Amino acid sequence: MAPPKPTETAKKVKVAILFDMGGRGDLSFNDMAYLGASRAEKELGVQIETLTPKSLADMVPVLEDLSKRGDYDLLVLVGFLWTDALNKTADKFPNQKFALIDASTRVQRANEVDLLFREQECAAMVGVLASSMAKSLGGNKVGAVAGMDIPPLWKFHIGYLYGVKYYEKKTGDRIDFIWQYTGTFTDTQAGYNAAMTLLQQDVKVLYGLAGLTHVGMFNAVKEWNERQGKIAALAIGQDASQEWISPMNIPLSGSKRVDVAVYTAIEMVVRGTWKGGIVTLGLKEGGVGVWDLEGVREFATLAAETKQLKDMTPDDVVRIVESQRKAYISADAQRIADELRQRIVNGEIKFKMPATHEEYDYIVRELLAGNLDAALERS
């Protein structure tokens, strides 16, 4: 269905994008939200404005002020830091629509939609590809430097381990798995220390799931390889395409498409399909996945435009990433990952959402024992 075409007399849909205090320029979560809004501006003809609060204390007054004015058809709140402010505001303004991205108030409201991601689905594909990379490096251990012990990370953990065990089952190659929580998303030194410990245990591939903390993990892998005088380990990014940071050492990133979530929320208003509640995005909806080379190029270009890409061009980044993927991901592993992706998209593989820490622990224990079914909903 085509979007309604704005006319000279028709009122444009107005949308405000509210970032957290980090604002634009992170080349990750917030910039991806802006990409989704920009796409909606071009394709759906909406009017976009953006706003970044100065502090946590500003969030409630900002949200109340915007809601009271009633100038916007939709307020898009980017990230979990808006959860409390939304809970304090949404019921006072039933005619104001809110979209909360990558978080949920867990309260059912007609004027609120929460957009979440099925992180297991991209992590499972990463698990297959990481296993292949470890084998190509002459090892059999993969690991992760994770942030805090919270439900979104439980889903990444389960998906990543599932993918590793799926690869093991398909190839017969044993792969050891180490998962490390750091307890923080903002401490690069903690990420460096955790990664160095894992590298010293002969872990060959590290998946970064800790926000700013895993930038320290990238530094550790780069330093480790420089010490060895060769590529002895590899890193994997997450959310945005992070290969540009060090493409020789980071040939892959999982994607969490905040841009798709923002676009989806705006589209619901434009097309008149708005319905309050929780919407989840996975592989089928393009909400998660593994960044392809066009995505790598897009983020390398953003990095170049903001003067963060040093001594390389975006073309250089794409060329190196393509070469590293060919060198360390076997054709057989790519076929297994593609097969897994198709089974998830078809609905043949559907991951459980653990409701408690006990359930999460149980699933991880069973996966480690080789019981892949423990992670899945049964039809």
The residue among 98, 189, 182, 200 whose CA lies nearest residue 141 is 200
191 near 148, Cβ under 8 Å?
no
User: CA 49, CA 41: separation in Å to the nearest integer?
Assistant: 10
Predicted TM-score of the model (pTM): 0.89
Instruction: Give whole-number Cα distances, 286 to 147, 236, 323, in Å.
Output: 24, 20, 25
pLDDT tens, the chain, 379 aa long: 455 554 444 579 999 999 987 777 777 788 889 999 999 999 999 999 999 999 989 999 999 999 999 999 999 999 888 999 999 999 999 999 999 999 899 899 999 999 999 999 999 999 999 999 999 999 999 999 999 898 889 999 999 999 999 999 999 999 999 999 999 888 999 999 999 999 999 999 999 999 889 999 999 999 999 999 999 999 999 999 999 999 999 999 999 999 999 999 999 999 999 999 999 999 999 999 999 999 999 999 989 998 999 899 999 999 999 999 999 999 999 999 999 999 999 999 999 999 899 999 999 999 999 999 999 997 5
- Write out pLDDT tens, residues 234-289: 999 999 999 999 999 999 999 999 999 999 999 999 999 999 999 999 999 999 99
The H or E element containing residue 167 is helix 151-171
Instruction: Read off φ and ψ for residue 17, nearest 5 degrees.
Output: -100, 120
35 near 302, Cβ under 8 Å?
no
Query: Which pLDDT does position 10 carry in this prediction?
Result: 59
Query: Which pLDDT does position 379 carry in this prediction?
Result: 55
The H or E element containing residue 177 is strand 176-181
Give first-to-last CA distance, the chain, whole Å: 32
User: CA 142, CA 66: separation in Å to the nearest integer?
Assistant: 47
143 near 179, Cβ under 8 Å?
yes
User: CA 325, CA 316: separation in Å to the nearest integer?
Assistant: 14
User: CA 287, CA 255: separation in Å to the nearest integer?
Assistant: 8
Tokens of 208: 């970064």
SS3 percent helix, strand, coil of the chain, rounded to 5, is 50, 15, 35
Instruction: Read off φ and ψ for residue 305, nearest 5 degrees.
Output: -65, -30
Residue 281 bridge partners (DSSP): 117
Q: Is 215 exposed, middle or buried (0-12, 13-18, 19+ CB in 10 A)?
A: middle
Query: Which pLDDT does position 22 carry in this prediction?
Result: 73
DSSP 239-303: ES--GGG-TTT--EEEEE-HHHHHHHHHHHHHTT----EEEEE-TTTTSEEE--HHHHHHHHHHH
Q: Is 289 left (phi over 0), alpha (psi -120 to 50) or beta?
A: left
The H or E element containing residue 217 is helix 213-228
